[in-house]
Amino acid sequence: MQKVTIKNIVPGAIVTKPIFNEDGVMLVPNGTILHEMGVRRLIEMGIHEAFIVYPESETSRILELYEESPHLDDIIYQRTRVQAKQLIKRAMSRMLPGDQLDMGKISNIVDEIIDQLLSVKEIILTLSRLKTIDDYTYEHCVNVCVISLVIGIDLNLKQPELRHLGVGALLHDVGKAYISGDVLNKPATLTNQEYDQIKSHTEIGYKILIKSGVAEEAAQIALYHHEKYDGTGYNRCLSGDTIPLLSRIVTLADSYDAMSNDRTYRKKLAPDKVYKEIADLSGSQFDCNITDRFLRRIDLFPIGTGIILNTGHKGVVVGHNKFLPQSPVIRIFKGETDSKNIRSSANYVDINLAKTKYLFIVDTF
Protein backbone atom coordinates (compact mmCIF):
# COMPACT_ATOMS: atom_id res chain seq x y z
CA MET A 1 0.00 0.00 0.00
CA GLN A 2 1.23 3.47 -0.84
CA LYS A 3 -0.02 7.04 -0.51
CA VAL A 4 0.17 8.75 -3.89
CA THR A 5 -0.92 11.99 -5.52
CA ILE A 6 -4.21 11.50 -7.37
CA LYS A 7 -2.86 12.83 -10.67
CA ASN A 8 -0.12 10.18 -10.56
CA ILE A 9 -2.49 7.22 -10.14
CA VAL A 10 -2.46 4.77 -13.02
CA PRO A 11 -5.95 3.41 -13.84
CA GLY A 12 -6.47 -0.02 -12.31
CA ALA A 13 -5.22 0.94 -8.83
CA ILE A 14 -7.16 -0.48 -5.87
CA VAL A 15 -8.21 1.94 -3.11
CA THR A 16 -7.01 0.60 0.28
CA LYS A 17 -8.45 3.31 2.56
CA PRO A 18 -11.79 5.07 1.93
CA ILE A 19 -11.57 8.51 0.28
CA PHE A 20 -13.58 11.31 1.92
CA ASN A 21 -14.27 14.89 0.88
CA GLU A 22 -13.74 17.90 3.14
CA ASP A 23 -17.21 17.46 4.67
CA GLY A 24 -16.47 13.89 5.73
CA VAL A 25 -18.66 12.32 3.01
CA MET A 26 -17.24 9.06 1.66
CA LEU A 27 -16.54 9.36 -2.05
CA VAL A 28 -14.79 6.06 -2.73
CA PRO A 29 -15.02 2.98 -0.47
CA ASN A 30 -12.15 0.65 0.35
CA GLY A 31 -11.51 -1.96 -2.37
CA THR A 32 -12.71 0.19 -5.29
CA ILE A 33 -10.77 -0.15 -8.57
CA LEU A 34 -10.04 3.32 -9.96
CA HIS A 35 -10.48 3.73 -13.69
CA GLU A 36 -9.52 6.77 -15.78
CA MET A 37 -12.88 8.50 -15.33
CA GLY A 38 -12.80 7.97 -11.57
CA VAL A 39 -9.31 9.43 -11.27
CA ARG A 40 -10.37 12.45 -13.31
CA ARG A 41 -13.45 12.99 -11.11
CA LEU A 42 -11.38 12.90 -7.93
CA ILE A 43 -9.03 15.52 -9.36
CA GLU A 44 -12.01 17.73 -10.24
CA MET A 45 -13.38 17.36 -6.70
CA GLY A 46 -10.13 18.61 -5.19
CA ILE A 47 -8.94 15.30 -3.73
CA HIS A 48 -5.16 15.40 -3.49
CA GLU A 49 -3.97 11.95 -2.39
CA ALA A 50 -5.16 8.40 -1.85
CA PHE A 51 -3.95 5.11 -0.40
CA ILE A 52 -3.74 2.49 -3.15
CA VAL A 53 -2.10 -0.71 -4.36
CA TYR A 54 -1.75 -2.10 -7.86
CA PRO A 55 -2.94 -5.67 -8.42
CA GLU A 56 0.32 -6.74 -10.00
CA SER A 57 2.41 -5.25 -7.19
CA GLU A 58 3.94 -7.55 -4.59
CA THR A 59 2.81 -5.09 -1.93
CA SER A 60 -0.77 -6.14 -2.53
CA ARG A 61 0.14 -9.44 -0.87
CA ILE A 62 0.36 -7.73 2.52
CA LEU A 63 -2.78 -5.61 2.23
CA GLU A 64 -4.85 -7.92 4.40
CA LEU A 65 -2.18 -7.98 7.12
CA TYR A 66 -1.88 -4.19 7.03
CA GLU A 67 -5.60 -3.65 7.46
CA GLU A 68 -5.54 -5.76 10.65
CA SER A 69 -2.94 -3.51 12.30
CA PRO A 70 -4.44 -1.28 15.05
CA HIS A 71 -3.52 2.14 13.64
CA LEU A 72 -4.43 5.32 15.45
CA ASP A 73 -5.65 6.75 12.14
CA ASP A 74 -8.40 4.13 12.01
CA ILE A 75 -9.65 4.63 15.59
CA ILE A 76 -10.85 8.20 15.12
CA TYR A 77 -13.73 8.35 12.66
CA GLN A 78 -12.78 10.15 9.46
CA ARG A 79 -15.92 12.27 9.83
CA THR A 80 -14.69 13.43 13.24
CA ARG A 81 -11.19 14.21 11.95
CA VAL A 82 -12.55 16.22 9.03
CA GLN A 83 -14.97 18.17 11.22
CA ALA A 84 -12.23 18.96 13.74
CA LYS A 85 -9.87 20.13 11.00
CA GLN A 86 -12.56 22.31 9.46
CA LEU A 87 -13.37 23.91 12.81
CA ILE A 88 -9.71 24.85 13.29
CA LYS A 89 -9.36 25.99 9.69
CA ARG A 90 -12.39 28.29 9.90
CA ALA A 91 -11.33 29.69 13.26
CA MET A 92 -7.77 30.46 12.22
CA SER A 93 -8.48 31.70 8.71
CA ARG A 94 -11.24 34.10 9.76
CA MET A 95 -9.75 35.34 13.01
CA LEU A 96 -9.73 39.13 13.37
CA PRO A 97 -8.42 41.22 16.27
CA GLY A 98 -10.91 40.98 19.12
CA ASP A 99 -12.66 37.85 17.78
CA GLN A 100 -13.67 35.00 20.08
CA LEU A 101 -13.83 31.29 19.29
CA ASP A 102 -17.05 29.25 19.10
CA MET A 103 -16.15 26.97 21.99
CA GLY A 104 -19.42 24.99 21.91
CA LYS A 105 -18.60 23.16 18.68
CA ILE A 106 -14.94 22.75 19.61
CA SER A 107 -15.79 21.22 23.00
CA ASN A 108 -18.24 18.83 21.36
CA ILE A 109 -15.70 17.58 18.83
CA VAL A 110 -13.14 17.04 21.61
CA ASP A 111 -15.70 14.99 23.54
CA GLU A 112 -16.27 12.85 20.42
CA ILE A 113 -12.54 12.20 20.07
CA ILE A 114 -12.25 11.26 23.76
CA ASP A 115 -15.19 8.84 23.50
CA GLN A 116 -13.73 7.18 20.41
CA LEU A 117 -10.32 6.75 22.04
CA LEU A 118 -11.80 5.36 25.24
CA SER A 119 -13.67 2.71 23.22
CA VAL A 120 -10.38 1.05 22.21
CA LYS A 121 -8.22 -1.01 24.56
CA GLU A 122 -4.88 -0.90 22.76
CA ILE A 123 -3.81 2.08 20.67
CA ILE A 124 -0.75 2.12 18.42
CA LEU A 125 0.63 5.43 17.20
CA THR A 126 1.18 5.52 13.45
CA LEU A 127 0.37 8.70 11.56
CA SER A 128 -0.17 8.77 7.81
CA ARG A 129 -3.18 10.95 7.03
CA LEU A 130 -1.58 14.35 6.42
CA LYS A 131 -2.54 15.39 2.90
CA THR A 132 -0.70 18.56 1.90
CA ILE A 133 1.79 20.95 3.43
CA ASP A 134 -0.74 23.75 2.88
CA ASP A 135 -3.09 21.96 5.28
CA TYR A 136 -0.32 21.23 7.78
CA THR A 137 -1.36 23.66 10.52
CA TYR A 138 -4.96 22.44 10.65
CA GLU A 139 -4.27 18.72 10.34
CA HIS A 140 -1.39 19.10 12.78
CA CYS A 141 -3.73 20.57 15.41
CA VAL A 142 -6.05 17.56 15.12
CA ASN A 143 -3.15 15.10 15.26
CA VAL A 144 -1.70 16.80 18.34
CA CYS A 145 -5.11 16.70 20.03
CA VAL A 146 -5.53 12.97 19.38
CA ILE A 147 -1.96 12.06 20.37
CA SER A 148 -2.16 14.17 23.54
CA LEU A 149 -5.39 12.44 24.54
CA VAL A 150 -3.81 9.03 23.98
CA ILE A 151 -1.05 10.04 26.39
CA GLY A 152 -3.56 11.53 28.84
CA ILE A 153 -5.62 8.34 28.86
CA ASP A 154 -2.45 6.32 29.41
CA LEU A 155 -1.66 8.56 32.41
CA ASN A 156 -5.16 7.89 33.81
CA LEU A 157 -6.27 11.52 33.67
CA LYS A 158 -9.87 12.12 34.75
CA GLN A 159 -12.56 13.19 32.27
CA PRO A 160 -12.40 16.93 33.10
CA GLU A 161 -8.61 16.91 32.69
CA LEU A 162 -8.92 15.05 29.40
CA ARG A 163 -11.37 17.67 28.17
CA HIS A 164 -9.00 20.51 29.12
CA LEU A 165 -6.15 18.60 27.46
CA GLY A 166 -8.10 17.98 24.27
CA VAL A 167 -9.35 21.55 23.91
CA GLY A 168 -5.94 23.06 24.65
CA ALA A 169 -4.15 20.66 22.30
CA LEU A 170 -6.62 21.27 19.46
CA LEU A 171 -6.17 25.05 19.87
CA HIS A 172 -2.50 25.12 20.87
CA ASP A 173 -1.45 26.91 17.67
CA VAL A 174 -4.42 29.28 17.34
CA GLY A 175 -2.07 32.25 17.88
CA LYS A 176 -0.52 31.50 14.49
CA ALA A 177 -3.61 33.10 12.92
CA TYR A 178 -1.85 36.40 13.54
CA ILE A 179 1.55 35.35 12.16
CA SER A 180 2.41 36.00 8.51
CA GLY A 181 2.07 32.91 6.30
CA ASP A 182 5.34 33.83 4.62
CA VAL A 183 7.09 33.54 7.97
CA LEU A 184 5.26 30.38 9.07
CA ASN A 185 6.05 28.55 5.81
CA LYS A 186 9.49 29.99 5.12
CA PRO A 187 11.74 27.15 3.90
CA ALA A 188 14.97 29.01 4.73
CA THR A 189 16.46 29.95 8.11
CA LEU A 190 14.41 32.54 9.97
CA THR A 191 15.86 35.93 10.89
CA ASN A 192 15.86 36.90 14.57
CA GLN A 193 12.89 39.19 13.94
CA GLU A 194 10.96 36.42 12.17
CA TYR A 195 11.74 33.97 14.95
CA ASP A 196 10.42 36.47 17.49
CA GLN A 197 7.19 36.62 15.45
CA ILE A 198 6.91 32.83 15.57
CA LYS A 199 7.51 32.77 19.33
CA SER A 200 4.78 35.34 19.91
CA HIS A 201 2.08 32.88 18.86
CA THR A 202 2.11 31.29 22.33
CA GLU A 203 1.24 34.53 24.13
CA ILE A 204 -1.29 35.51 21.45
CA GLY A 205 -2.96 32.10 21.58
CA TYR A 206 -3.26 32.21 25.36
CA LYS A 207 -4.99 35.61 25.24
CA ILE A 208 -7.40 34.41 22.53
CA LEU A 209 -8.37 31.36 24.56
CA ILE A 210 -8.86 33.25 27.81
CA LYS A 211 -11.00 35.85 26.03
CA SER A 212 -13.06 33.02 24.48
CA GLY A 213 -13.88 31.62 27.91
CA VAL A 214 -11.53 28.62 27.77
CA ALA A 215 -10.49 27.22 31.16
CA GLU A 216 -7.09 28.35 32.44
CA GLU A 217 -5.81 24.75 32.39
CA ALA A 218 -6.53 24.50 28.66
CA ALA A 219 -5.39 28.02 27.79
CA GLN A 220 -2.03 27.42 29.47
CA ILE A 221 -1.31 24.75 26.86
CA ALA A 222 -1.16 27.43 24.15
CA LEU A 223 1.11 29.51 26.38
CA TYR A 224 3.55 26.79 27.48
CA HIS A 225 3.69 24.17 24.70
CA HIS A 226 7.12 25.37 23.57
CA GLU A 227 8.67 25.25 27.02
CA LYS A 228 11.29 22.50 27.40
CA TYR A 229 11.87 20.26 30.38
CA ASP A 230 15.42 21.57 30.84
CA GLY A 231 14.33 25.22 30.76
CA THR A 232 15.66 26.10 27.29
CA GLY A 233 12.27 26.66 25.63
CA TYR A 234 10.23 29.83 25.16
CA ASN A 235 8.67 32.23 26.17
CA ARG A 236 8.81 31.87 29.97
CA CYS A 237 11.85 29.52 30.21
CA LEU A 238 10.03 27.22 32.66
CA SER A 239 11.57 23.86 33.55
CA GLY A 240 10.66 20.50 35.05
CA ASP A 241 7.40 20.26 36.95
CA THR A 242 6.93 24.04 36.91
CA ILE A 243 5.59 23.42 33.40
CA PRO A 244 1.96 22.27 33.84
CA LEU A 245 1.44 18.56 33.16
CA LEU A 246 -1.00 19.13 30.29
CA SER A 247 1.49 21.41 28.56
CA ARG A 248 4.27 18.83 28.98
CA ILE A 249 2.04 16.27 27.28
CA VAL A 250 1.26 18.56 24.34
CA THR A 251 4.94 19.51 23.92
CA LEU A 252 5.74 15.86 23.24
CA ALA A 253 2.72 15.28 20.99
CA ASP A 254 3.51 18.46 19.05
CA SER A 255 7.10 17.39 18.39
CA TYR A 256 6.14 13.82 17.50
CA ASP A 257 3.67 14.93 14.86
CA ALA A 258 6.06 17.54 13.46
CA MET A 259 8.79 14.92 13.05
CA SER A 260 6.35 12.47 11.46
CA ASN A 261 5.16 14.74 8.63
CA ASP A 262 6.71 16.70 5.77
CA ARG A 263 7.30 20.38 6.38
CA THR A 264 8.30 23.17 4.00
CA TYR A 265 11.84 23.10 5.37
CA ARG A 266 12.45 19.37 5.81
CA LYS A 267 11.15 15.89 5.04
CA LYS A 268 9.45 13.69 7.61
CA LEU A 269 11.45 11.09 9.53
CA ALA A 270 10.77 7.35 9.37
CA PRO A 271 8.92 5.99 12.45
CA ASP A 272 12.02 4.27 13.82
CA LYS A 273 14.02 7.48 13.52
CA VAL A 274 11.24 9.48 15.21
CA TYR A 275 11.36 6.92 18.03
CA LYS A 276 15.11 7.40 18.46
CA GLU A 277 14.86 11.19 18.30
CA ILE A 278 12.13 11.30 20.96
CA ALA A 279 14.11 8.91 23.18
CA ASP A 280 17.27 11.01 22.80
CA LEU A 281 15.40 14.17 23.86
CA SER A 282 13.90 12.59 26.98
CA GLY A 283 14.99 14.57 30.03
CA SER A 284 16.06 17.59 28.03
CA GLN A 285 13.12 18.61 25.86
CA PHE A 286 10.55 16.17 27.26
CA ASP A 287 9.40 14.88 30.64
CA CYS A 288 11.09 11.49 31.17
CA ASN A 289 8.04 9.74 32.63
CA ILE A 290 5.73 10.94 29.88
CA THR A 291 8.29 10.00 27.24
CA ASP A 292 8.78 6.48 28.59
CA ARG A 293 5.06 5.76 28.54
CA PHE A 294 4.63 7.38 25.15
CA LEU A 295 7.38 5.36 23.47
CA ARG A 296 5.63 2.12 24.39
CA ARG A 297 2.82 3.12 22.04
CA ILE A 298 4.86 4.09 18.98
CA ASP A 299 4.70 1.61 16.12
CA LEU A 300 8.45 1.34 15.54
CA PHE A 301 8.14 -0.44 12.19
CA PRO A 302 4.55 -0.13 10.89
CA ILE A 303 3.31 -2.95 8.70
CA GLY A 304 4.13 -2.03 5.14
CA THR A 305 7.43 -0.31 6.04
CA GLY A 306 10.26 -1.02 3.61
CA ILE A 307 13.38 -2.21 5.45
CA ILE A 308 17.02 -2.95 4.67
CA LEU A 309 18.80 -5.72 6.57
CA ASN A 310 22.44 -5.77 7.67
CA THR A 311 22.98 -8.23 4.81
CA GLY A 312 21.81 -5.65 2.28
CA HIS A 313 18.57 -7.49 1.48
CA LYS A 314 15.43 -5.36 1.12
CA GLY A 315 12.03 -6.38 2.42
CA VAL A 316 8.78 -5.19 3.93
CA VAL A 317 7.34 -5.51 7.46
CA VAL A 318 4.38 -7.90 7.63
CA GLY A 319 4.03 -8.59 11.35
CA HIS A 320 4.98 -7.44 14.85
CA ASN A 321 6.55 -8.93 17.96
CA LYS A 322 4.87 -7.07 20.83
CA PHE A 323 7.72 -7.47 23.30
CA LEU A 324 10.49 -7.01 20.72
CA PRO A 325 9.20 -4.17 18.52
CA GLN A 326 12.66 -3.64 17.03
CA SER A 327 12.51 -7.18 15.58
CA PRO A 328 9.36 -7.50 13.43
CA VAL A 329 8.40 -10.21 10.97
CA ILE A 330 9.62 -9.20 7.53
CA ARG A 331 8.99 -10.45 4.02
CA ILE A 332 11.81 -10.74 1.52
CA PHE A 333 10.50 -11.18 -2.03
CA LYS A 334 12.07 -13.74 -4.33
CA GLY A 335 14.72 -14.60 -1.76
CA GLU A 336 15.92 -17.85 -0.28
CA THR A 337 17.26 -18.93 3.11
CA ASP A 338 17.66 -22.15 5.07
CA SER A 339 16.61 -20.72 8.44
CA LYS A 340 14.01 -22.75 10.32
CA ASN A 341 12.29 -19.48 11.28
CA ILE A 342 11.26 -18.77 7.70
CA ARG A 343 7.95 -19.44 6.01
CA SER A 344 8.51 -19.48 2.27
CA SER A 345 6.61 -19.56 -1.00
CA ALA A 346 7.63 -19.44 -4.61
CA ASN A 347 7.72 -15.65 -4.51
CA TYR A 348 8.84 -14.65 -1.02
CA VAL A 349 10.15 -15.73 2.38
CA ASP A 350 8.96 -14.50 5.79
CA ILE A 351 11.61 -14.00 8.48
CA ASN A 352 10.86 -13.50 12.16
CA LEU A 353 13.75 -11.29 13.26
CA ALA A 354 12.99 -12.02 16.92
CA LYS A 355 14.08 -15.60 16.29
CA THR A 356 17.26 -14.95 14.33
CA LYS A 357 20.67 -14.15 15.82
CA TYR A 358 22.43 -12.52 12.91
CA LEU A 359 19.83 -10.53 10.98
CA PHE A 360 18.68 -7.05 11.99
CA ILE A 361 17.28 -3.88 10.39
CA VAL A 362 19.79 -1.15 9.57
CA ASP A 363 17.57 1.25 7.63
CA THR A 364 14.07 1.90 6.30
CA PHE A 365 12.70 3.26 3.02
The CATH number for 52's domain is 3.90.105.10
Cα–Cα distance for residue pair 302/305, rounded to 1 Å: 6
Cα–Cα distance for residue pair 365/107, rounded to 1 Å: 39
Range of weakest confidence among 14-28, 70-84, 148-162, 210-224: 70-84
pLDDT for 96 equals 66
Whether residues 163 and 291 share a domain: the answer is: yes
- Exposed, middle or buried by CB within 10 Å (0-12, 13-18, 19+), for 225? buried
Is residue 63 domain-resident? no
Higher pLDDT, 13 or 231: 231
pLDDT for 55 equals 60
Cα–Cα distance for residue pair 51/13, rounded to 1 Å: 9
Whether residues 149 and 266 share a domain: the answer is: yes
Higher pLDDT, 79 or 158: 158
Q: Taking 90 as the threshold, does the pLDDT of residue 28 lie above it?
A: no
* Residue ending a domain, choose from 250, 274, 295: 295
pLDDT for 221 equals 98
pLDDT for 71 equals 52
Cα–Cα distance for residue pair 42/321, rounded to 1 Å: 38
What CATH number should be reported for the domain holding residue 166?
A: 1.10.3210.10
Q: Which of 43-47, 224-228, 319-323, 326-330 has the highest mean pLDDT?
A: 224-228
pTM of the model: 0.75
At 331, is the secondary structure helix, strand, or coil?
A: strand
As for how many domains the chain has, the answer is: 3
The residue range of the domain holding 22 is 2-56
pLDDT digits (tens, 9 = 90+) for 40-60: 888 888 888 888 876 644 444
